[in-house]
Amino acid sequence: MKSCKMEGCDKPVAGRGLCHMHYKRWARHGDPEVTMVKKECKEEGCERRHFCKGYCEPHYRRMRKRKA
Ligand SMILES: [Zn+2]
Ligand SMILES: [Zn+2]
């Protein structure tokens, strides 16, 4: 029996080469890896919860103010 094509996942395939969990994730979000995205701010040393574009709320606002 084939197993899920996602790395580190050896559950049996349900559809599109993905196991049931990854297939549902793909169907819902269009990306089977979506929940592997870090849900924390990507600013170094910041552990606040993710708000938008990979940043927490204060860091996101700060980033938006900055005009590259
Ligand atoms: Zn899987
Ligand atoms: Zn932050």
The pLDDT averaged over each successive group of 10 residues in the chain (68 residues) is 90 94 88 69 88 91 81
pLDDT of residue 38: 53
Buried b (16+ CB within 10 A) or exposed e, 10-29: eeebeeeebbeebbebbeee
pLDDT of residue 67: 63
Q: Let me know whether 9 and 29 are in one domain.
A: yes
Residue 65: give the domain boundaries.
38-68
6 CA distance to ligand 2 middle (Å)? 30
Q: Is there a contact between 16 and 3 (Cβ–Cβ < 8 Å)?
A: no
**How many structural domains comprise the chain?**
2
Q: Let me know whether 2 and 17 are in one domain.
A: yes
45 CA distance to ligand 2 middle (Å)? 8
41 CA distance to ligand 2 middle (Å)? 5
Reference 43, options 33, 55, 58; nearest CA is 55
Tokens at residue 38, please?
């870090």
C-alpha distances out from residue 15 to 8, 10, 28, 60, Å: 17, 14, 14, 37
Q: Let me know whether 24 and 49 are in one domain.
A: no
